[in-house]
Structures are given as structure tokens and as C-alpha cells.
């Protein structure tokens, strides 16, 4: 392992941050921890990554994708592994009409 990434509410814990930094330094591992202001809301972080994926042209996951919350994170990328062709996406406004519609 070359890099340890600590995110979310756990990364807001100063003891966890300090311990991760010390142990990574001793093991020659690069710790990656976002600024404290970005470590308080996992939902906001997930939404931000989702926004980046949509902007990069990533398509939705298939409906039959299996979910395993205990699976180890072995690879993370904001670039889809097999990027579909870029497509324009429009979000409806709160009124339900498409943006720019009269």
C-alpha cells in the first residue's frame, strides 16, 4: 500500500488523524486527509463525487449492481474505467419545467 485515504466523519477525529499521520510516516505511506471543513458530512462528499462523475460523462450504474459496504477500497477513480460517450444532461427546475423553458 502506498497511500492511505481517510475521509468523512472519521477524518474529523483529531486523534484518528494524528495516529494515521504517525503510523503512515513510520511505514513510508502517504496519508491523504482532506481539510477538517470537508470532513463532517459523508453525504456531501458522496454528492460531490457524484457531481464530478456526471460532469465527466459517467453513465449510471446498472440496476442489478451488487452492493457490499464491507468491500475493501482497492481502486478509486473519478474517470470511468470505460467511459461512455459524453451526453448532455438536464436537471428539471423546482417548477418541473426544463431550464430555459417558457
3-state SS of the chain is CCEEECCHHHHCCHHHHHHHHHHHHHHCCEEECCCHHHCCCHHHHHHHHHHHHHHCCCCCCCCCCCCCCCCCCCCCCCCCCCCCCCCCCCCCCCCCCCCCCC
pLDDT of 57-101, one tens digit each?
888 878 887 777 777 766 666 555 554 455 444 444 444 444 444
List the end-to-end C-alpha distance of the chain, in Å, as a whole number.
55
pLDDT of 13-65, one tens digit each?
889 999 999 999 999 999 988 888 878 767 777 787 788 888 888 888 788 87
Please report where in the chains the cell 451526453 appears, as a residue.
Answer: 87
Q: Where are the domains of the chain?
A: 3-55
Amino acid at each position: 500500500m502506498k497511500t492511505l485515504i481517510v475521509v468523512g466523519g472519521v477524518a474529523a477525529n483529531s486523534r484518528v488523524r494524528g495516529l494515521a499521520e504517525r503510523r503512515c510516516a513510520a511505514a513510508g505511506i502517504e496519508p491523504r486527509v482532506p481539510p477538517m471543513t470537508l470532513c463532517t458530512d459523508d453525504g456531501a462528499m458522496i454528492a460531490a463525487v457524484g457531481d464530478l462523475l456526471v460532469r465527466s460523462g459517467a453513465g449510471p450504474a446498472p440496476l442489478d449492481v451488487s452492493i457490499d459496504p464491507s468491500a475493501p477500497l482497492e481502486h478509486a477513480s473519478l474517470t470511468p474505467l470505460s467511459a461512455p460517450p459524453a451526453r448532455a444532461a438536464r436537471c428539471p427546475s423546482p417548477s418541473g419545467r426544463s431550464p430555459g423553458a417558457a
